[in-house]
Structure 1
Amino acid sequence: MALLEEWRQKMERITQIKPSSRQLGWQVMGFYGFIHFGLNTYTNQEWGDGTASPSLFLPEQLDCVAWVQTMKAAGMKGAILTCKHHDGFCLWPSKFTDYSVASSPWKNGQGDVVRKFAEACHQENFKFGIYLSPWDRAEASYGTGEAYNDYFANQLTELLTNYGDVFEVWFDGANGESEGKVQPYDWERYYQIIRKLQPEAVIAVCGPDVRWVGNEAGTARENEWSVVPIELRDAEKIAERSQKVDDGKFAKQIASTDEDLGSRKVLANYHGELIWYPAEVNTSIRPGWFYHEAEDELVKPATTLFEIYRKSVGGNCTFLLNIPPNPSGQIATRDVETLKELGQLIEQFDKPLPANIEKQVVSTTNHELYKISCPTPQRLNMILLGEDISRSQLVEAFEIRATINGQLVSIYQGESIGYKRMVEIELITTDYLEIEVLASRAQPKIDKIALYLIEK
């Protein structure tokens, strides 16, 4: 009885952990893009060392509006631009360094990629986000302590002040310690700047709002929990695995101990602080993060990307897909075609099958039953569920049953739901289904139920 009472009290505390308004707004987006672009695009590198000449940067056909339109066609709601990668080259004319577009021949040094992209986003009603690498291999003050933190804070302030609303700030955890430069990043100072200048922006990866899922191959967990131990907030601040090429091995580097981060079993044995820290799945449409001509035939097929979408956006995560422009400043033809195909696949979720949903009160505490009737028998292979996560993530077990050949049979049993759960099943024909919540941390509220016949 003592253990039962201890768990009950813990559940009361857990169910009080809920998303902030900025986290809710971010979760609703679901799918958005990453744009890796810079000097690495011209040197055929992934991690530049800060010595490449700005004279190489010459995107003569830069078309940020086309970037945005291509990503919108894929179903994305916004995008994050690598304003400065590890090489330190800035895609805007920063007042604090000459290592930027101001020193390039592009537009005679008068260009600003960040402004072009931000304006394109705002023009197309598309969310704008920034990536700013704390590791800077070109800046002389890197590794000196406070002087570099001042430099970084100044650049962060420029980006958050001069380019309109920002929905996400993405901080990579890579650093220069392998090169003998130890720079203590003043994370709290960075966060304070963001909260002051862009209060609705989430801070991702090395930040308090959005958690890195743990790999960069687009792999989501079967059960992804948003209420997790606070220690995960600092896990990526030295991210040795960050920004890797998907070589087929990296996807398998998720340790078994990391597979379950927030189930009842895990939390029962955890006595520290818990936080709302949802996961973001990220991967690139190509093996690399920056454009490489040799990878033009290695673009992931739309069907592969759609499966990642289903398991990430449909697995209580968001999906961040990288699209690298080529040296001319355009997105390559193969990528454009693939993203259009992906968008057509995702558009199927705009057309749910006709169904009437009735909620039935179940006397057992924290149980709910939903009855779904269709006007005529429907062929279906996908069921979308979702919780009202403003009340926390509550569902721990559920079952789906359907009438098939006159018999009500179980067709799926799952655990977590979260913001969205896209349940793929074998093709069935039915006019009646039941969804029952079997276990929940408090009285649940399912606010999304839809049936689909999805063609792949």
Structure 2
Amino acid sequence: MKKTALILAGLLGCNMVMSQQIKPYGALPSKAQVAWNDMEYYMFIHFGPNTFTNKEWGHGDEDPKVFNPTHLDARQWARTAKLAGMKGIVLTAKHHDGFCLWPSKYSTHTVRESAWKDGKGDVLAELSAACKEYGLKFGVYLSPWDRNHPEYGKPGYNQVFANTLNEVLSNYGPVFEQWFDGANGGNLKQPYDWNLFHKVVYKNQPNAVIFSDVGPGCRWVGNESGIAGTTNWSTLNVHGFAPGAAGPPTKSLNEGNEDGEQWIPAECDVSIRPGWFYSPDTNDKVKSVSNLLDIYYGSVGRNGNLILNVPIDRDGLIHPNDSTRLMELRHVLDASFKNNLAKKAVVTATNTRKNDAAVKVSHLTDGTNTTYWATPDNVTSAEITLSYKTPVKFNRVVLQEYIALGQRVKSFTVSILENGKMKEIARETTIGHKRILRLPDYTTTLVRINILDAKASPVISEVQLYNAPGVLATPEISRNKEGVVMISCASSDPEVHFTTDGTEPTMQSSKFANAFTLPQGGVIKAKAFLDNGKTASETVTAYFDVAPAKWQVIQSDAAIKGYEAAKAIDGNTATAYITDRKDAAAKYPHELQIDLGESLSLKGFTYTPAIGEGIGGVVYGYAFYTSNDGKSWGNPVAEGQFANIKNNPVTQTVSFKATNARYIRFVAVAPAEEKENWVSVAELGVITK
């Protein structure tokens, strides 16, 4: 009887423990998605004929022999990615122009027809081998849009693309991510068979994470700035949506959907340069370390993964300016997250789940996200406290949920003990895979994380504290309508030195103290210094053409009050001309005519769209005219489309054959967003140099 009682007691105890095991909540990630989230940061590579033609979107009619990188070295790409702290590389194996970076038997627009290696090369084979050598994961981008293939737009094309996919995914080893976008442009429209495409992916690469606006592996974050929402759920509603124009609303892409139908976390894509493909014109426009840090904290720090594009140059290498910046970023990130101060704390927590051996307070600071702490079922709030015997200084807080059991936390605060009282220093929403709070410097003996609300019992894997070093901000150079130049710097009390002859600024260069004029334009380089030059920022370069001091608008469409046409030529990209969307007559085409006040030798123009939530009106199709009398315009000196401007609304530069003129006419022929009947112009400029 005594033995039977002991057995029964043991069974009951076992059942009690079992009953305390944590139940998963909501849509859940696959093992492949958990591993993908743990990668956090990896490289995107855009490379192809566009590299040599200076285009963002090729038309598919380029001579394949233009592709001829004379020193291509995929090992250099992989080595650079590894040294930068990246975990993988995704390559544009086929972009919209249809050019294949491998000798595909389903296309005649490939490296086989190029001048590179006499047509015997294979970029995918070289990069796959290099990734394996350097311990990186390998991924591929294949655009279903093909502006070269004769079958595109016909019923048989989907099978052609499926065959192309199969060719890539069965020949180059493991693929961690298959990158799709929904681009479907030009005069031909192709209804894509996504089910067929996905079947091909999973047949060959069952663990691949598929990227698109609706996943199913990971989703586009809704912009090409690399920034996720401050609230960011890894779940998304996908019913009724498809990749491309039929994708979910931008807000849903950026923030996810609370209790969304499927686990589809955000991937944040951005280029280290203004464009995606290499251009020699952008060698001095590589993003600064401070800018890249903003992107890192806005992506990895907001429950997303960061895929940073680093284009390959015409030699077939990562340009030194790009690789140098990547190493500088790695240095700052390593220094920022080197010493986890939470490991020195005494950690306590309220409402800790009992009778579950997997749940321990000590797991919060053990440095791994595979262990966790949790509250009991139906308890959706708790406090986690880090206590110190002596004060600690910190400015970063890192939190992680154990996402294998679902994303749960809806809101939390961070507080510190200051002058004997608790002071709230941050109030945020979601956590997910990782949340990094970038805070001012605080010194305290007690830090408290207060989970205010959750979808189910919070399951937290990590709480970390760091004191990141400060980074000297890069100067900002601006010029107004009259040609007056200002240089500012967000860091405290730096010395800013500049040059106007194209040379690198040093402490011996002119020190900026007062605004100066540069009405005819030129190049300005500026650099910030501290401690008599011991600390320096990156160099920032600004190119200016003739100032619009004499310019006047002579014809424009009705504008919203406060956004008149004159704002398009005031030298300030923070202001904008926006046509009245409520005007019954408002429809495309729109046009803007300007008197330059003098005859100039024009070699091109620039268009900067207005950006900001709810602004819209970005121009896609354009025509540009010149005139000497403002009446006779003749044929356009330039016309076409601003490729990818909808997703990447940066300044567009268009060159044309030099012509003398006093008047210009910018015609907006088609919108980037089909439903928008208005136009926005932050700045319109001309190129004379």
Q: TM-score range by the shorter chain?
A: 0.7 to 0.9
Q: Which residues of 2 match residues 185-264 of structure 1 at below 5 A?
A: 185-206=192-213, 207-231=215-239, 234-238=241-245, 261-263=256-258
Tell me the SS of whatever aligns to 1:309: helix
Tell me the SS of whatever aligns to 2:97: coil
CA shift digits 1:113-155 (9 cap, x unpaired): 111111110110001000001000110000112x211211111
CA distance in 2 between partners of 1:109 and 1:229 (Å): 45
CA distance in 2 between partners of 1:34 and 1:417 (Å): 26
Question: Which residue of 2 is the match for residue 132 of structure 1?
Answer: 142
Q: Report deviation, 1:260.
A: 5.1
Please state if 1:295 is matched with 2:282.
yes
- Which structure has the bigger radius of gyration? 2
Report which structure shows greater RCO (CA 8 Å, sep ≥6). 1
Tell me the SS of whatever aligns to 2:456: coil
Partner residue of 1:377 out of 391, 394, 418: 391
Superposition RMSD on alpha carbons, in Å? 2.2
Question: Which residue of 2 is the match for residue 74 of structure 1?
Answer: 84
Please state if 1:110 is matched with 2:120.
yes
Partner residue of 1:170 out of 167, 175, 179: 179
Question: Which residue of 1 is the match for residue 361 of structure 2?
Answer: none
Question: Which residue of 1 is the match for residue 72 of structure 2?
Answer: 62
CA distance in 2 between partners of 1:377 and 1:319 (Å): 34
TM-score (ref. length: structure 2): 0.59
Please state if 1:398 is matched with 2:403.
no
Change (3 A) 1:256 1:118: closer
Q: Report deviation, 1:345.
A: 1.5
CA distance in 1 between partners of 2:346 and 2:433 (Å): 19
Deviates more, 1:165-174 or 1:254-263: 254-263
CA distance in 1 between partners of 2:273 and 2:264 (Å): 28
Q: Which residues of 2 match residues 344-383 of structure 1 at below 5 A?
A: 344-347=331-334, 348-353=336-341, 354-356=343-345, 358-362=347-351, 365-383=379-397
Q: Report deviation, 1:185.
A: 1.0
Question: Which residue of 1 is the match for residue 170 of structure 2?
Answer: 161
CA distance in 1 between partners of 2:60 and 2:247 (Å): 20
Is the contact between residue 402 and residue 433 of structure 1 (CA under 8 Å) also seen in structure 2? yes
CA distance in 1 between partners of 2:47 and 2:425 (Å): 46
Q: Report deviation, 1:58.
A: 1.0
Q: Report deviation, 1:356.
A: 2.7
Please state if 1:283 is matched with 2:281.
no
| Partner amino acid, structure 2, of 1:97 | S
TM-score (ref. length: structure 1): 0.88
| Partner amino acid, structure 2, of 1:325 | I
What percent of counterpart residues are identical? Answer: 41
Change (3 A) 1:255 1:130: closer
CA distance in 2 between partners of 1:346 and 1:447 (Å): 21
CA distance in 1 between partners of 2:455 and 2:218 (Å): 23
Question: Which residue of 1 is the match for residue 634 of structure 2?
Answer: none
Question: Which residue of 2 is the match for residue 5 of structure 1?
Answer: none
Q: Which residues of 2 match residues 28-67 of structure 1 at below 5 A?
A: 28-67=38-77
| Partner amino acid, structure 2, of 1:164 | G
| Partner amino acid, structure 1, of 2:130 | A
Deviates more, 1:348-357 or 1:404-413: 348-357
Change (3 A) 1:109 1:420: same
Tell me the SS of whatever aligns to 1:55: helix
Change (3 A) 1:443 1:68: same
1 or 2, which has the higher helix percentage?
A: 1
1 or 2, which has the higher strand percentage?
A: 2
CA shift digits 1:85-124 (9 cap, x unpaired): 0001100011112211111121111100111111110110
Tell me the SS of whatever aligns to 1:298: coil
CA distance in 2 between partners of 1:375 and 1:52 (Å): 68
| Partner amino acid, structure 1, of 2:340 | P
| Partner amino acid, structure 1, of 2:236 | V
Aligned length: 421
Please state if 1:409 is matched with 2:409.
no
Deviates more, 1:351-360 or 1:327-336: 351-360
| Partner amino acid, structure 2, of 1:358 | V
| Partner amino acid, structure 2, of 1:365 | V
Is the contact between residue 15 and residue 394 of structure 1 (CA under 8 Å) also seen in structure 2? yes
Please state if 1:443 is matched with 2:453.
no
Question: Which residue of 2 is the match for residue 92 of structure 1?
Answer: 102
Question: Which residue of 2 is the match for residue 454 of structure 1?
Answer: 468
Question: Which residue of 2 is the match for residue 121 of structure 1?
Answer: 131
